Amino acid sequence: MFESLSERLGGVFDRLTKQGALSEDDVRTALREVRVALLEADVSLPVARQFIKAVEKKATGAAVTKSVTPGQQVVKIVHDELIATLAGEGEPGALRIDNAPAPILMVGLQGSGKTTTTAKLAKRLKERDRKKVLMASLDVNRPAAMEQLQILGQQIGVDTLPIVKGEDPVAIAKRAKTQASLGGYDVYMLDTAGRLHIDAELIQQAADVRDVVNPRETLLVVDGLTGQDAVNVATEFDDKIGVSGVVLTRMDGDGRGGAALSMRAITGKPIKFVGLGEKMDALETFEPERVAGRILG
């Protein structure tokens, strides 16, 4: 994750920290490079601009203490600003799942990793949080997707709602809700249908399901490799359905990572988890400190 961005910033700050004292010009030159690096990492222009402006303001006004070089000071300011840009409120990965059975609605485009993420998160809830979890697929147009969730459920030892042919998504959601109550489940996760593009039917279906179960969390799964597209998808889903958090998948790939930086700034939604591979354990909470550290190298 963030390889190109961290390499780039690493180079910039290496040069910076090797110099003894810094003039305003030095700071400006370095930050210009940071800006280019951010844009190359597919961070959106307004976010990159805002970021640089904030850093510049703090760097210029900051008193340089004796213990650090001006370069180190700028690095620290960039680091802190990265965290501020990335961070959401509350604990990373925290989910509102207190009132059992708590519904979690999983939404996203087809191929984003939604079904895989549903299972990964179910496994995490089961193993780390000791929750009894039920999963249900609402993807009635793609029987293979429903079976995929069932197979993953067997693999991780999490129950899935039995598949009933011909049932519509709202009926499945209602059945999941009933089953979750009767079966003493803490959480039930609804894996909604994915499409290649956001269309009216997809949104309507997700909205209908939302209105029936009143989800405690609506998690949008987006492919982290798609950069600004991921942010656009998030904005649209949030406008139309309302999203409580984002899961960025494929952060194990050598993507440019800009989506993470832009996501919070543009959508106002926290990234709760990142997907780091195909395996069921490859899900981590999104930790701004760690990500900022990785970006700076």
Output the DSSP codes for 180-207: HHHTT-SEEEEE----SS--HHHHHHHH
Q: Indicate the residue whose CB is closest to ligand GDP.
A: 275
Which of 6, 44, 85, 115 contacts ligand GDP by CB under 6 A?
Answer: 115
Q: Shortest approach of ligand GDP to residue 70 CB, angstroms?
A: 39
What DSSP designation does 133 have? Answer: E
Spatial distance between the Cα atoms of 172 and 143, rounded to a whole number of angstroms: 14
252 annotated ligand binder: yes
Q: How far apart are CA 95 and CA 189, in angstroms?
A: 12
The answer to whether residues 190 and 103 touch, using CB atoms and an 8 Å cutoff, is yes
Q: How far is the CB of 278 from ligand GDP (least distance, A)?
A: 4
Spell out a b/e string for 196-205, using b for 16 or more CB atoms within 10 Å of the CB, else e.
eebeeebbeb
CB of 85 to ligand GDP, least distance (A): 22
Rounded least distance, CB 7 to ligand GDP, Å: 21
Would the annotation count 108 as a binding residue? yes
| CB of 230 vs ligand GDP, minimal distance in Å | 13
Binding to ligand GDP by CB under 6 A, coded x per residue (else -) over 246-275, reads ---xx-xx---------------------x
- Residue 195 Cβ vs ligand GDP, minimum distance, rounded to whole Å: 10
Residue 222 contacts residue 251 (beta carbons within 8 Å): no
Residue 120 or 177 having the CB closest to ligand GDP: 120
Q: Is 88 annotated as a binding residue?
A: no
Q: Three-state SS for 107?
A: strand
Q: Is 118 annotated as a binding residue?
A: no
Asked if 103 touches ligand GDP (CB under 6 A), the answer is no
**Tokens linked to 168:** 């519509």
The SS3 assignment for 160 reads strand
Among 8, 35, 79, 114, binds ligand GDP (CB under 6 A): 114
Query: Is residue 278 close enough to count as binding ligand GDP by CB under 6 A?
Result: yes
First to last CA, the chain: 11
In terms of phi and psi (left: phi > 0; alpha: psi -120 to 50; beta: otherwise), the region of 184 is left
Contacting residue, 4, 29, 110, 179, with ligand GDP by CB under 6 A? 110
Q: Which amino acid is at 142?
A: R
Which residues would be at the binding site for ligand GDP (CB under 6 A)? 108, 110-116, 194, 249-250, 252-253, 275-278, 282
Cite the annotated binding site for GTP by residue number: 108-115, 191-195, 249-252
